[in-house]
Structure formats: structure tokens, C-alpha cells
């Protein structure tokens, strides 16, 4: 197993943090939006977002991911200033938290402001394709998550098509990681993510999950986000706040496929899944 992919001794360099990739990590989600699909705006108020981040941290989150723009299917973009107004007070309020803060944004201006406010990871659903994004991340020491998305959140679920979803997503991530490294972002700072639910049908999402091991060819740590997603709603017929069991099942399958970072809403329960997974792995012959 390559040094940056995960496994004993490999580390993710994220600003002043070094995250051990030898065991699965949990990224806890904080949506500072009025219209999130998963928590319906419960953390739109900065104080509510800050308390929730502390709670997720106490429950065992290794990373806190703060987002000020909804990326749910059908969501419309917000302005740069709106996005900053939402996330900066939360980052400010979390300065004392001894955990790396990640910011879910695709805009270089927001990335720069977030990094100055103490963020150590940029989580970009557009994989640093916005003009200036590669350079902004390159000149910092933060880690970056490069995610695959086909289309834009507003329209991405309108009949997405792939000839071979795994090949296309893999090729995209390889290309974006290559561009990031050419721009000066060290391999030890890069995470990749197939982007479950972003311009993909349920069949595409399950094909990616079934063949997740193929992503190990990239030799980079893999992040998976299945938590409460609509594919799980379609399967179970349940609303977002009743998708815990389905989310945990998907998290376990993602671990089995080689994911090293799980982006989740339900940290405490995901911690238990990881404990079972770790015990199972230790006793593997």
C-alpha cells in the first residue's frame, strides 16, 4: 500500500495537523445553510453550528467540515459574501477546538478567507476547477479533498449518463490530482472522493461503491460521503432524518472498499461502525 493512500505510518498533512491514515477518520458535517437536505437549517445560526461542532468533536469526529452553500440536488448558488458571512463566524468560534477544520467551498475567495480564519482542509466538490482555486490552495499548507461531480448541484440529477462511471470518475480524479501536484500541492496533502450522489443515479452510486477498490490505483486517501443521501432515501423510502441505519451500512461498505475518511452527520454511531470494522480487520488471517 502506498504511503499516502492509508495504512500504517501514512499521514495526511493538513496545515499544522498530521492525520494518521492508518485508521479510518470521521469528518463530521456542519451545514451553516438554511436549506440543507439533511438537517433542514438547524445549524444556520452560528452559535448552534459552534455547539454542534463541539458535540461532534466530543463524539469522536477527527475533522469538522463547515459548509455555507448547500450542494443538495437542485440547490442554487449563493454569493461569495453570503457564503463568507455564514462560515467565518463559525470558524472564529471554533478557533480553540484542537481538531482540523475543513471548509466545504468551491470559491477561491472563500478558500482564502477560510484559511486565514484557521481552516486546515479545503473540501471542494469541484476539485479546484474554479479559476484561482489551485493557486490559492497551493500557496497554503492545507490539505484538500478533490471530489468528482458531473454538472452543477442545480441540475446534476437530471438524467446523468456515463459509459463506465468508475472509469470516468477515476480518470477525472487522476487528472485533477495530477493538476494539483503540478500546481505545487504535495501528494501528502491530497484526498480524493468519487462524489456519491453528485450527478449520479442510484445505480451509478452502487457501481462506484461495489468497485471502490479500483480507486486504490490512485494511491491517494479516499473520502466517502453516503450519510443520509437521497439514494438511501430511494432505497428505504425514508426521509433524511430516518436514514441512519442505511447510512451506517453504506459507511461499512465504503470502509470495505478502502475509504479512509467518512463524511457523516452521525458521528457517534459511525464511530461504532469503525470499531467493528477495526476489530474485524485485526482478526483477519
Among all chains, which residue has been given the C-alpha cell 491530497?
190
What whole-number distance in Å separates Cα of residue 208 and Cα of residue 254? 10
What whole-number distance in Å separates Cα of residue 53 and Cα of residue 279? 28
Among the listed residues 199, 108, 120, 107, the one whose alpha carbon sits nearest the alpha carbon of residue 162: 199
# binding residues, ligand 9MG (CB under 6 A): 13
Binding region for ligand 9MG (CB under 6 A) out of 51-59, 131-139, 156-164, 191-199: 191-199
Question: What residues numbered 227-246 form the site for ligand 9MG, per CB under 6 A?
Answer: none
Binding region for ligand 9MG (CB under 6 A) out of 55-63, 172-180, 188-196, 265-273: 188-196
Q: Known catalytic residue: 243?
A: no
Question: What residues numbered 46-85 form the site for ligand 9MG, per CB under 6 A?
Answer: 67, 71
Among the listed residues 147, 130, 157, the one whose alpha carbon sits nearest the alpha carbon of residue 75: 157
Note whether 28 binds ligand 9MG by CB under 6 A.
Answer: no
Nearer to ligand 9MG, 62 or 193 (CB): 193
Distances (CA, A) of 99 to 46, 127, 201: 18, 23, 34
The pairs formed by 233-236 with CB atoms below 8 angstroms and a separation of 24 or more are 234/202, 235/202
Q: In the bound complex, what is the minimum distance in angstroms from residue 226's beta carbon to ligand 9MG?
A: 7
E-strand ranges in 76-167 read 101-104, 121-124, 143-147
β partners of residue 123: 104, 145
What character string, x for contact with ligand 9MG (CB under 6 A) and - otherwise, covers 128-157?
Answer: -----------------x-x----------
Q: Known catalytic residue: 263?
A: yes
Binding region for ligand 9MG (CB under 6 A) out of 105-113, 180-188, 189-197, 248-256: 189-197
Q: In the bound complex, what is the minimum distance in angstroms from residue 117's beta carbon to ligand 9MG?
A: 18
Among the listed residues 195, 196, 194, 190, the one whose alpha carbon sits nearest the alpha carbon of residue 219: 190
Among the listed residues 218, 188, 170, the one whose alpha carbon sits nearest the alpha carbon of residue 1: 218
Among the listed residues 106, 173, 117, 172, the one whose alpha carbon sits nearest the alpha carbon of residue 140: 117
Q: Which of 229, 268, 271, 281 is catalytic?
A: 229
Question: What residues numbered 261-280 form the site for ligand 9MG, per CB under 6 A?
Answer: 263
What character string, x for contact with ligand 9MG (CB under 6 A) and - otherwise, covers 153-182?
Answer: ------------------------------
Positions in the binding site for ligand 9MG (CB under 6 A): 67, 71, 104, 123, 125, 145, 147, 193, 195-196, 223, 225, 263
Active site residues: 229, 263
Amino acid at each position: 500500500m502506498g504511503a499516502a493512500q492509508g495504512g500504517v505510518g501514512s499521514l495526511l498533512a493538513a496545515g499544522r495537523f498530521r492525520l494518521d491514515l492508518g485508521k479510518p477518520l470521521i469528518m463530521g458535517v456542519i451545514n451553516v445553510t438554511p436549506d440543507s437536505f439533511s438537517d433542514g437549517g438547524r445549524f444556520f445560526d452560528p452559535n448552534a453550528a459552534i455547539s454542534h461542532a463541539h458535540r461532534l468533536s466530543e463524539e469522536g469526529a477527527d475533522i469538522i467540515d463547515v459548509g455555507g452553500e448547500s450542494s443538495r440536488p437542485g440547490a442554487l448558488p449563493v454569493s461569495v459574501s453570503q457564503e463568507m458571512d455564514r462560515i467565518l463566524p463559525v470558524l472564529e468560534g471554533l478557533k480553540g477546538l484542537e481538531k482540523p477544520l475543513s471548509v466545504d467551498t468551491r470559491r477561491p475567495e472563500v478558500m482564502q478567507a477560510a484559511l486565514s480564519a484557521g481552516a486546515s482542509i479545503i473540501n471542494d466538490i469541484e476539485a479546484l476547477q474554479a479559476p484561482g482555486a489551485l493557486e490559492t490552495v497551493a500557496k497554503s499548507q492545507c490539505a484538500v479533498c478533490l471530489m468528482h461531480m458531473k454538472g452543477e448541484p442545480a441540475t446534476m440529477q437530471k438524467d446523468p449518463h456515463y459509459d463506465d462511471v468508475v472509469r470516468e470518475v477515476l480518470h477525472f480524479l487522476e487528472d485533477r490530482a495530477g493538476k494539483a501536484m503540478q500546481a505545487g500541492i504535495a501528494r501528502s496533502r491530497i484526498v480524493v472522493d468519487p462524489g456519491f450522489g453528485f450527478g449520479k443515479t442510484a445505480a451509478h452510486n452502487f457501481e462506484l461503491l461495489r468497485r471502490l477498490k479500483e480507486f486504490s490505483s490512485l494511491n491517494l486517501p479516499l473520502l466517502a460521503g453516503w450519510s443520509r443521501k437521497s439514494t438511501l432515501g430511494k432505497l428505504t423510502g425514508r426521509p433524511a432524518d430516518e436514514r441512519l441505519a442505511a447510512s451506517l451500512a453504506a459507511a461499512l461498505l465504503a470502509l470495505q472498499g478502502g475509504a479512509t475518511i467518512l463524511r457523516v452527520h452521525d458521528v457517534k454511531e459511525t464511530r461504532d461502525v469503525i470499531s467493528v470494522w477495526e476489530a474485524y480487520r485485526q482478526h483477519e488471517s
